[in-house]
Amino acid sequence: MSGTFFLGAVLIDGLGGEPIHNSGVLVQDDRIVAAGVAADITIPEGTQTVDVTGKVIMPGLIDAHVHVIGSKSLNMAQVALEPQAMQMGRALIDLPRLINAGFTTVRDVGSHVAVHIRDLIREGAYEGPRIKTSRHMLSQTAGHGDMHMLPSSFNLFTVCDGVPECIKAVRTQFREGADFIKICSTGGVLSEKDDPRWSQFNMDELKAIVYEAEAVQSYVASHAQGAQGIKNALLAGVKTIEHGIYIDEDGIELMLDRKAILVPTLAIVHRIIKEGHLYGVPEFGLRKARAVYREHIEHMIMAHQAGVTIAAGTDFASCAPVEHGGNALELQLLVEDVGFTPMEAIVAATANAAKALHMEDEIGTIQPGRFADLIVLDVNPLDDITLLQQTEHIQQVYIGGKRLK
């Protein structure tokens, strides 16, 4: 076995405890075999030593909510009318941007090209982060994933109504390579004819979708913004709530009871409000984003203080103002707006995000047995979480022990 020993850095292991100074991380092949105080680790003969004294070593960052979709804008009508080959090309360009920013894994929650990009990375044709993808979002007719502004024949995603259609839709996603299922149990901000507070899919449909996912040992993530739609999803067995804008006390109790994970995606709304008018975001999207943001923050503070497990996710895509590469903005917003400590924000983008992907035994922490997905920085993000957005400070990036930066 080939081995590498990272010597001397401050170790942030993703578990939330105190950093370890004068650390060592021993990697053999693609896995971590030991981590802790360097002097306590036995180094096998022939191991290469990488001196990272004075630097910080931590798990690769994970964005638990992205769209590897190659869109040119957040105007979904324009996205639907473009050739998919062009979108595939743009999405491939995003891969080095994510690596440069220290993101070694992303969870795609709706894209017609991410399945293929994931497979190209696996076969070695391209280098990029680990990708887990839902392929299409599932939406009811006139739901958030239905392209309201266009004839239904232009839909990018899958529309299904009634239990039989929902069952067929879930099975089809898995047939076409999905890792998990993404649904829309409420309306949304960037869908024209609905409202984030409206509930979508009935309980029979939601339960049927969850049953089919769990039957193949997978799970369901739900775009859920309205209070009732959040609770409906949780009662049906959904494992991750995306956005959660209007979550109430009952929804928070359900999340704690069901051990569900909340992925706030503050970054996209933040960017839309500040810059969306410059980049073609439709007026209805700008209006709804402005209307929800303050309440979104307030409810995330409630959820955090109640002890809900929160994972970092941005909802970024390929286009300005939400282009990939600036994904660490979510950590800044968790600290500045929600009241996380920098360490809590890092855990949200490592260990907690790994749980959202159902990969906590494989990635997200620097522990024996985990994949050697590591980043090395010349600054300490515990001193200033915004430093993670300055990608020049992320000096080394490894996926499975292989250096990509």
CA distance 240 to 181: 11
Q: Contact 95/117 with Cβ under 8 angstroms?
A: yes
Query: Containing H/E element for 132?
Result: strand 130-133
**Confidence (pLDDT) at 1:** 55
Residue stretches of the chain with pLDDT short of 50: none
Show which residues are catalytic: 182, 315
Nearest CA among 309, 303, 396, 354 for reference residue 106: 354
Q: Do residues 202 and 144 lie in contact, with contact meaning Cβ atoms separated by under 8 Å? A: no
| 110: CB partners within 8 A, 6+ apart | 67, 69, 134, 135, 136, 137, 145, 157, 182
Q: What is the DSSP letter of 387?
A: G
Quote the CA–CA distance of 365 and 198 in Å, as a whole number. 37
Q: What are phi and psi of 208, to 5 degrees?
A: -65, -40
H or E element, residue 268: helix 266-275
The Cα 373–Cα 350 span in angstroms is 10
Phi-psi region of 323 (alpha: psi -120 to 50; beta: other; left: phi over 0): beta
Domains of the chain, first to last: 3-59+365-403 (2.30.40.10), 61-356 (3.20.20.140)
- The distance from CA 174 to its chain's CA centroid, rounded to whole angstroms, is 20
pLDDT at residue 80, as a whole number: 86
Sign of CA dihedral 122, 323, 271, 397: positive
Structure tokens at 400: 């499975």
Tallying the residues shown for the chain, one arrives at: 405
Does residue 208 contact residue 228 with C-beta atoms inside 8 Å? no
Burial class (CB in 10 A: 0-12, 13-18, 19+), 127: middle
* Residue 149 confidence (pLDDT): 81
The angle formed by the CA atoms of residues 188, 91 and 376, to the nearest 5 degrees, is: 100
pLDDT at 135: 98
* Distances in whole angstroms, Cα of residue 264 to Cα of each of 130, 270, 299, 331: 21, 12, 10, 11
Q: What is the residue-wise DSSP string for 297-322?
A: HHHHHHHHHHT-EE-----BBSSTTS
Cα 66 to Cα 81: distance, rounded to the nearest angstrom: 21
